[in-house]
Amino acid sequence: MTYPETIDYLFSRLAVYQREGAKAYKPGLDNTRRIDQRLGSPHRRYKTIHIAGTNGKGSVSHLLASVLQHAGYKVGLYTSPHLRDFRERIRVNGTPVPEDYVCRFVEEHRAFFEELNPSFFEATMNLAFQYFADEMVDVAVIEVGLGGRLDSTNIISPILSVITNISFDHIALLGDTLSKIAVEKAGIIKAHTPVVIGEATSETKPVFLQKAASENAPVFFAENEIEVKKAGSFEGGQVFDSTDFPQLEIGLGGIYQQKNTATVLTAIKILRKSFNIDDLAVRKGFASVCETTGLQGRWQALQKQPRVICDTGHNEAGIRYIVEQLKTLHYDCLHFVIGMVNDKDVHSVLSLLPVDARYYFCAPQLSRALPAEALQKQAAEFALQGEAFPSVQAALAAAKKNAAPTDLIFVGGSSFVVAEAI
């Protein structure tokens, strides 16, 4: 099969969460372990770092990978979902897995997959683990797909676990309280393995402490370990101050990166026991994270006049940060291109959005997408006014046509909307 045929096979033959939602989710590790056993447990051939959390785990994963790469290590990076090309999920030193490797792996194991019937995530995650082994990486940064305890990635034995934060998302699968969701995320905490908690609340902190104690795992709360303050900003990035790293430049926008920076710097303090990471590697890794790892979609500027910004924040906590940041910007009129998927808490998100913006409702091209007209109708309940469009491209084109050079266009509501906009 050619690469397009292989990707089409993976998406059409295997259950894909991003397309089908909860019915494609296969909790438990049985299928993953069977594939892993067939491959000879490739993840045991290199060190791993495991990243979970509701928001921020993508940024934290990319920042850690970037720092380790600048420290001279060969680094594997596994994240999901991708924005434009499947190969974005699997990188070594920032370079996506080659197309021919994907084709060969799928062809070699196709009969086994059709007998086992794994999910898309179970199959492709094992592809990543095998690729990292074949490339002989020194370390792989592994982002959890969904939850933690029952996520396919939880077969690894990491040298460090990181849980960025807990907020409401995937409630039907992970639980309807923060403590229940925290239990699922805390499932990645392993025996005698240090864990960094990026943010904790009175509801989630006891969950982490109890799980860490039961596993004899040292636990580090980033908020107690290091204080990070914003010291400035520049085109395409920000400057943060901390005790160890004054004037630390990060090549990412988004005020939420302040929390992520504290999480990553705490993790680096622990990783220095296993890796030789000097201060210059940290500074280079932060400053060039997008160029080094290929990270996209985090408060990313797409155009200058009118200014167009996109962000993949898609749940209540993520949107809250976005709205807070929008208030700090200067513009004449806000044009908001928004689309969502139907298994999110749409009302909680809509209740946070500014009523003085002009909205362009759309739907990304997948079956889970909430129809633009349905989103428009729900938005009207919160006095959010605008038009519905047949596609993300049409909505963005209309926003650009209507916007003056001094206006701002924001694109978001879903990773899939951002992917199509980019």
Per the listing, tokens 């792989």 go with 140
pLDDT band at residue 279 using 50, 70 and 90 as cut-offs? very high
When pLDDT is cut at 50, 70 and 90, the band that residue 172 belongs to is: low
- Cα–Cα separations (whole angstroms), residue 323 to 9, 113, 362: 39, 44, 19
Amino acid 196 reads V
pLDDT attached to residue 26: 53
3-class DSSP state of 82: coil
Tokens of 286: 């932060």
pLDDT tops 80 at residue 17: no
**Percentage of residues in the chain with pLDDT exceeding 70?**
95
pTM over 0.85: yes
Which pLDDT value is given to residue 411? 98
**Pairing label, strands 237-241, 386-388:** unpaired
Confidence of residue 168 (pLDDT cuts 50, 70, 90): low
Is the pLDDT score of 22 beyond 60?
A: no
Residue 35's SS3 state is helix
> The tokens of 151 are what?
């996520």
Query: Is residue 278 a contact partner of residue 71, using CB atoms and an 8 Å limit?
Result: yes
Strand pairing report for 47-52 and 75-78: unpaired
pLDDT of 39 > 70? The answer is: yes
Contact 208, 219 (CB under 8 A): yes
Q: What is the average pLDDT value for the chain, to the nearest integer?
A: 93
The CATH class given to the 3-293 domain equals: alpha beta
Which amino acid is residue 121, in one-letter code? F
Q: Which residues pair with 75 in a beta bridge?
A: 139
Write down the residue that tokens 């799980």 correspond to.
211
> Would you say 53 and 166 are in contact if contact means Cβ atoms under 8 Å apart?
yes
* 308 and 418 Cβ atoms separated by less than 8 Å: no
SS3 132: helix
**390 burial level (CB within 10 Å; 0-12, 13-18, 19+):** exposed
User: Which tens digit of pLDDT belongs to each residue from 210-227?
Assistant: 999 999 999 999 999 999
Residue 166 pLDDT: 86
pLDDT digits (tens, 9 = 90+) for 85-126: 999 999 999 999 999 999 999 999 999 999 998 988 999 999
Q: Taking the domains of the chain in order of start, what are their residue ranges?
A: 3-293, 300-421
**Nearest Cα to Cα of residue 364 among 405, 416, 307, 321:** 416
pLDDT-derived band of residue 136, with 50, 70 and 90 as boundaries?
A: very high
Which residues fall within 8 angstroms of residue 150, CB to CB, at 6 or more apart?
Answer: 27, 28, 29, 184, 187
CA 218, distance to chain mean position in Å, is 25
What would the CATH number be for the domain defined by 300-421? Answer: 3.90.190.20
**What confidence score (pLDDT) does residue 176 get?**
65
Distance between CA atoms of residues 215 and 228, nearest Å: 29
Helices 257-271 and 57-70 pack at an angle, to 10 degrees, of 40
- Measured over the CA atoms of residue 5, residue 9, residue 12 and residue 17, the dihedral's sign is negative
The pLDDT value recorded for residue 15 is 56
pLDDT in tens, 349-368: 999 999 999 999 999 998 88
| Closest listed residue to residue 93, CA positions, set 47, 138, 41 | 138
Vertex 84, ends 80 and 88: CA angle to 5°? Answer: 45
pLDDT per residue over 185-195, tens digit each?
Answer: 999 999 999 99
DSSP H or E stretch at residue 122: helix 120-134
Q: How sure is the predictor about 177, in pLDDT bands with cuts at 50, 70 and 90? A: confident
- Choose among 191, 156, 207, 149: nearest CA to 43: 156
